[in-house]
Amino acid sequence: MSTRYQLGTAPGRLSWLEHPWQLLRRPLSFLSSLRRVGDIVKIRFGPVWVFLIQNPEAVREVLVRSAVFDKGGPFFDKARILFGDGIGTCPHEVHRVQRRRMQPAFGHDRLPEQAAVMRAEVARTVGAWRSGQDLDIHAEMSALSLSVLIHTMFVTDAVAEQTAVVQRSMPVILRGLYRRMLAPVGLVERLPLPSNRRFEQVIGGVRAAVDHIIAMYRAAGIEHGDILASLLAARDEDTGAGMTDEEIRDQILTLIVGGTETTAAALTWTFYLLGEHPEVERRLHDEVDEILAGREAGIEDLPRLAYTQRVITEALRMYPPAWMFTRRTTREVEIGGHRIPGGTAILLCPYAINHDPELYPDPDRFDPDRWLSDRGQALLRGVMLPFGAGPRKCIAHNFALTEATIVVATVASRFVLRPIPGAKIRLVPRMALNPGALRMMVQRRRDLGASAQ
C-alpha cells in the first residue's frame, strides 16, 4: 500500500499485564479508545505483541489477502479446540478446497428450502408468545436461531435425541471457548477447575452426538436434501475425493456454533433498537403491513422488504455480532509503510470502526436511512463488514440475512416489543456481541389499537 499510516502503542506502563486485563474486562471501550493512538496500534498480549489495524482500507486488505493474513491469532487458535480444521478456522492452504466442497449447501438454489424452514420456525416461536408476556428476547432468539440451523442441517426426526444433546450443550461451549480465547498464555484450560472438566465433557458429548448422526446418514444412504446430506455428497472438483467423517463433523460444529450466536445477537439488538425508536418501528410496521398483511414473511417477499433490511443493516453496524477478528501473518509483510514480522497476530475490531465519527456521522444514532445515500452504499461495500470480506467471507451470509429478514418482518407484523422499564442493557462481548439477558414485553399489535401503531 502506498499510504503511510501512523503506528502507535497502546498506553500502559505494565503493558504485559494491563493490556490483557483491558481486553478481558472492557474490550469494546479499550479498543475504541485506541482510535486516537494510531492507524496501527501495538497491544501486548501476554508475552507477544498484537497489531490492531484500524484504518478501513488496511482492514480490507488484511481480510482480502488471506494467503498472507491467514486465520489465526488468539481467537482462532483457541477455537480449533472445538472446530478443528472447519471452514472457519482452517489454514489458507486447505480453505479453498473446503469452501468449494461446501458451497453447494449454501447455493442460491438451496435457499428457498432453507427459507421455508426459517418461516416455519419463526411461526412456531411467535405462535407460543402471549400478549403481555415478559420474555428474555435473547434467549428466545438463541433458541430460534439454533432450531433453524438444526432443522436445515438435519431434516430427519431420527436424530432428534442427538440434536437435543447439541442444543443443550451450546451455552457451556460458548462460555468455555470465549474464556480460553482471552487467556493469553493458555493457562486457564490447564487448571483442574470444575468448569474445565465440564467443558471437556460437553465437547466430548457433542462430538459423539454429531459422529452418531453422520454414521446414521451414511448407513441409511438416503438423500434427505439437507445440509448434512450435501456435505456427505460433496466431492472435490479436481480429485473427486469426498470429506471424511471428522472433516464433516468439524464443518457441522462450525456452522452450528458460529451461526447460532451471531444470528441470535443480531436479531436481539434489532428488536431492542426498534423498541427504543418507535418512529423507526412505525415505518417498519407500514412496510410489513403492506407486504405481509399479517402472514409470515417468505423468501419471495425479500425484494420488497427494503426498509426492513436497512433496519437490520443499521443494527449490524451499531452492534456487530462479529465484533472482533484475528489473523496471523504467514510471512513478513508491509502495511501502510510498516514492516510486520511473519507469525504476528493481527487484530481487527469492526465495533470500533463502525462507531468512528469520521466514517459515520453521529455514530450512536440509530438511522436506517443512512444506507440510502451514495455514501452509505459506498460504506456498505467497503467498510461495513458484518460477515468479513474476501475469500474468507462467511459462507452462510445469504442464509443469515435471509433468516434475519424473515424473522424481523414476521415478528413486526404481529407484535410490538418494549424493553422492561428499568432493565439494564449490557454489551457482552463473547463469541458474539450480545446484550446478555434482555427482558422485553411483547404485545400483539391488534390488542394495542391503532394509536400504538
What is the rounded distance in angstroms from the CA atom of residue 351 to the CA atom of residue 1?
A: 24
Q: What would the grid cell of residue 252 be?
A: 457441522
pLDDT of residue 451: 43
Tell me the range of 2-16, 109-123, 208-222, 230-244 where mean pLDDT is highest. Answer: 109-123
The average confidence (pLDDT) of the chain is: 89
> Which domains occur in the chain, in start order?
1-84+323-354 (3.30.43.20), 96-155+224-321+364-452 (1.10.630.10)
Share of the chain above pLDDT 70, in %: 96
Over the stretch 43-53, which tens digit does the pLDDT of each residue have? Answer: 998 788 999 99
pLDDT of residue 450: 46
Residues in the chain: 453
pLDDT at 75 over 80: no
* CA 2 and chain centroid, separation: 33
Over the stretch 163-197, which tens digit does the pLDDT of each residue have? Answer: 899 888 888 887 777 777 666 555 666 777 787 88
What is the rounded distance in angstroms from the CA atom of residue 130 to the CA atom of residue 143?
A: 17
Over the stretch 393-446, which tens digit does the pLDDT of each residue have? Answer: 999 999 999 999 999 999 999 999 999 988 778 888 877 898 888 999 999 998
pLDDT of residue 407: 98
Q: Which residues of 404-426 are buried (b: 16+ CB within 10 A; e: fewer)?
A: bbbbbbbbbbbbbbbbeeeeeee
Q: 10 Å Cβ neighbour count for 235?
A: 13
Tell me the range of 172-176, 183-187, 349-353, 384-388 where mean pLDDT is highest. Answer: 349-353
Over the stretch 203-241, which tens digit does the pLDDT of each residue have? Answer: 899 999 999 999 999 998 877 789 999 999 988 888 888
Of 147 and 157, the structure prediction assigns the larger pLDDT to: 147
For the whole model, what pTM was predicted? 0.91
